[in-house]
């Protein structure tokens, strides 16, 4: 297949592209605007592969998106391009509205125009796979409840509201125009190449530098953690085997409180990096509780039984195995994250600065 992947220089998108290039014979067109979170250095291992093509394009630019469809004639779209950081959405929601809602609308319309030119057989085979988040569901009050594919939407932040909006657009384009769409909603991802503003890499890198480990509120917020390479396998499974019109929830079956995640990281660093920064006796001593963010959801947890039952996918990594792999990756790839922290990773941005 020729698969057009938006947001392919991001954390999850790059994992999907590495998986496809390394494990299939498909061709990938990576379409990324290269905002701060897009990093082509996450794709170094495959960027010279003849089945990989990169295009620096903003999905809100309709004429450029039309050009991509005409040039590459994709058999499927995997739409991952999104602004995704909750704190940033609180400080500046406009970008989230533009990228996540207007961008998705623009991509849907360009896809529909292209899809209408295809033969009936190619129309039937085509897929538009929209990758979303469990945050569209709001949060769970009980300790046993789980998000299912039919849970009602109650987004809490500008980020999750914008993603909920994009989910509704995708489903409307199926219902109204017949565009063959599929939606997936995933839990919190973690793993290699994760941008350092996110919880797990932030804690690893701050601890290594002897800086405070900021934990919101009391740290008892619960998330279901999904190793990014497990997610990449699931997404490819969905785009190749999923049923049109279906929603699939993708989770890691790993519910952890934020404070337990941080303590787990500290324990691994005690084992792997016993020589601590000056003045630090134990990494846990760096934990610092800070004021909670507005509208902070208490608990997310996904029921991923449908994708296991219908498509045969389930996560390979436990949280314990995945977090160890993640910490070890950051310890072994200091050059990658140093270039993110000092901003030098942006120098190749094809005209940006």
Q: Is 303 a catalytic residue?
A: no
| Whole-number percent of the chain with pLDDT over 90 | 86
Dist. CA 68–CA 87, nearest whole Å:
32
Out of 55, 83, 134, 139, pick the active-site residue: 134
Tens-digit pLDDT profile for residues 163-181: 999 999 999 999 999 999 9
Q: What is the pLDDT of residues 63-78, one digit of tens each?
A: 999 999 999 999 999 9
pLDDT tens digits for 42-53? Answer: 999 999 999 999
- Tokens matching residue 155: 């987004």
The pLDDT of residue 352 is 38
Map residue 302 onto helix, strand or coil: strand
- 141 burial type by CB count under 10 A (0-12 exposed, 13-18 middle, 19+ buried): exposed
Three-state DSSP string of 182-196: EEEEECEEECCCCCC
Residue 84 has pLDDT above 60, yes or no: yes
Please say if 135 is a catalytic residue.
yes
**DSSP-derived secondary structure letter, 1:** -
Structure tokens, 1: 């297949």
Question: What are the tokens at 344?
Answer: 């030098």
Report pLDDT digits (tens) over 139-155.
887 667 899 999 999 99
Mean pLDDT calculated for residue range 212-234: 95
Q: Look up the pTM and report it.
A: 0.94
pLDDT tops 60 at residue 347: no
Output phi, psi for 120, to 5 deg.
-60, -40
Residue 353, pLDDT score? 32
Contact (CB, 8 A) for 21 and 46:
yes
Domains, the chain: 2-194+226-256+298-319 (3.40.50.720)
| Segment 301-317 mean pLDDT | 96
Provide the percentage of residues in the chain whose pLDDT is more than 70: 97
Ordered DSSP codes for 132-144: EEGGGG----SSS
Which of 135, 167, 224, 317 is an active site residue?
135
Q: Are 86 and 293 in contact (CB under 8 A)?
A: yes
347 versus 24: the higher-pLDDT residue is: 24
Average pLDDT of the chain to the nearest whole number? 94
Catalytic pick from 159, 236, 248, 330? 159
Mean pLDDT of 313-331: 97
Does residue 159 have an active-site annotation?
A: yes
**pLDDT tens-digit map of 97-140:** 999 999 999 999 999 999 999 999 999 999 999 999 999 999 88
Q: Assess whether pLDDT exceeds 90 at residue 348.
A: no
**Is pLDDT of 280 > 60?**
yes
What is the per-residue pLDDT for 295?
A: 74
């Amino acid at each position: 297949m020729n698969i057009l992947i938006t947001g392919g220089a991001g954390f999850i998108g790059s994992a999907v592209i590495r998986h496809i290039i390394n494990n299939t014979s498909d061709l990938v067109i990576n379409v990324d605007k290269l905002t701060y979170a897009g990093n082509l250095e996450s794709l170094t291992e495959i960027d010279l592969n003849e089945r990989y093509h990169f295009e620096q394009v903003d999905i809100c630019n309709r004429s450029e998106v039309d050009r991509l469809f005409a040039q590459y004639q994709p058999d499927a779209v995997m739409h991952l391009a999104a602004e995704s950081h909750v704190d940033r959405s609180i400080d500046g929601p406009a970008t989230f509205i533009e990228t996540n809602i207007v961008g998705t609308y623009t991509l849907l319309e360009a896809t529909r125009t292209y899809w209408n030119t295809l033969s009936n057989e190619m129309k039937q085979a085509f897929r538009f796979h929209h990758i979303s988040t469990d945050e569209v569901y709001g949060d769970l009050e009980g300790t046993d409840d789980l998000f299912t594919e039919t849970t009602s939407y109650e987004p809490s932040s500008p980020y999750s509201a914008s993603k909920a909006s994009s989910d509704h657009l995708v489903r409307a384009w199926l219902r109204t125009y017949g565009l063959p769409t599929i939606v997936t909603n995933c839990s919190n991802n973690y793993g290699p190449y994760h941008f350092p503003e996110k919880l797990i890499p932030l804690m690893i890198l701050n601890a290594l530098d002897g800086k405070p480990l900021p934990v919101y509120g009391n740290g008892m917020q619960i998330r279901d953690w999904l190793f990014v390479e497990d997610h990449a396998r699931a997404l490819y499974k969905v785009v190749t085997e999923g049923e049109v019109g279906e929603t699939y929830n993708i989770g890691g079956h790993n519910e952890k409180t934020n404070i337990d995640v941080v303590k787990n990281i500290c324990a691994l660093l005690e084992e792997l990096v016993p020589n601590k920064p000056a003045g630090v006796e134990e990494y846990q001593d760096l934990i610092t509780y800070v004021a909670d963010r507005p509208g902070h959801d208490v608990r997310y947890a996904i029921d991923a039984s449908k994708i296991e039952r219908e498509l045969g996918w389930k996560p390979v990594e436990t949280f314990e195995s995945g977090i160890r792999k993640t910490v070890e990756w950051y310890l072994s790839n200091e050059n990658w994250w140093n270039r993110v922290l000092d901003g030098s990773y942006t120098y190749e941005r094809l005209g940006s600065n």
